[in-house]
Amino acid sequence: MSEQLGTLEELPQDYRDGMAKAGVAPLWPMMRNVLPHGAPNPQTKAGHWSFDAVRPLLLRAGELTPVEKAERRVLVLSDPGRGTGAMQATSSIYLGLQLLLPGESAPAHKHTPSAVRIVVEGEGGFTVVDGEKLPMLPGDLVLTPGGEWHDHGHEGSEPVIWLDALDLPLFVYLEGSYAIEGELQAQRNRPDASDVEYLASGLAPSRSTARARRYPMMRYPWARTEAALREMAEYGEGPLAELDYVNPETGEDVLPTMGFTAMMLKAGQVVSPPLRSASAAFHVVKGSGVSRVNGEAITWGPKDTFTAPVFADISHEAGEEAFLVRIHDRPLQDKLGYYEERAK
């Protein structure tokens, strides 16, 4: 196989003009761009967003732009490899920090992309998905799957901020991204499924002939996640306490295209996972430390977010006990049949 392919400049100008007129182009000068040898050549670069730096800007947005004029008051975390304003943090993951002030409501809509909200700070916020009211406490993970009506409200006294994670870049690429607006939903007068049907791990409602909901549980309370991680860190056999967020009925990832993994690092612990074909974002729920992504040191603290491209060489070192949530696109890659891990 030739390592050096022919270039466009080597072709006669009249031939190049003829191809342009016919609306065609030669593959060979561009082939290495789309099919590099051995591994992808990602455009995505490692990113880091300090919550202390972004929070004042988000609160200022609350002063400058009412939610009625924003629909969703969000500051987008743009991939440094694509530049400020890029509607993606990695090749397939969109991230944004959203603000809701006391008494505000974000109008109901549904859209083709799926979303997850990880609550960063504040209490009193809630999301309604298909009539189910989901409280939003710090660290909670809340699903708003594609095609499901959802709106947000705030019954508390302090600002609520959460991290949005969507598979939006995938739908934009497929030219399938759109939303439909609706009215605020009537709320069912009962706790959400995480406090009723799926209150206890390993237990689910008794099977019946009725078909289970595709997304039976929309809220994953952080208090239970942290408690489970602590037990895993104490008694688990692996080097790292990690737990995947899963559908309690099927055991599969919570969404078809995105996965979410909670992890705990003990103070001073250093971990170096294998090279993964999935891109990833890491949200720090608690704690501080340093991660290295392809040699670049990222010093992170509570509520920060950082990213890594595909096949990145990643290591984490906790300066103190730390809890993070890793957002990744392994479920999508599994379905396409190409997810891969490589030893360092």
Mean pLDDT value of segment 201-223: 83
What domains does the chain contain, in order, with CATH numbers?
A: 48-342 (2.60.120.10)
| CA-based radius of gyration for the chain | 22
The amino acid that residue 84 corresponds to is: T
Answer whether residue 207 shows pLDDT above 90: no
pTM of this prediction?
0.93
110 or 187, greater pLDDT: 110
- Average pLDDT on 150-158 reads 93
Confidence grade of residue 193 (pLDDT, cut at 50, 70, 90)? confident
State residue 1's pLDDT score. Answer: 53
Position 210 confidence tier, pLDDT thresholds 50, 70, 90: low
Region 7-15: what's the mean pLDDT? 96
- CB of 171 closer than 8 Å to CB of 257: no
**Shortest CA distance to 106 belongs to which of 60, 168, 149, 157?**
149
Helix, strand, or coil here: 267? coil
Residue 285 · residue 242 · CB < 8 Å: no
Q: What's the mean pLDDT in 163-185?
A: 92
Residue 281 pLDDT class (50, 70, 90 cuts): very high
pLDDT of 284 strictly over 70? yes
Which residue, among 111, 114, 110, 109, has the nearest Cα to 94 in the 3D structure? 114
SS3 breakdown of the chain: % helix, strand, coil, rounded to 5?
A: 20, 30, 50
Residue 46 corresponds to which tokens in the numbers above?
């490692």
pLDDT at res. 239? 87
| Confidence category of residue 312, pLDDT binned at 50, 70, 90 | very high
Q: Tokens in use for 294?
A: 């392809």
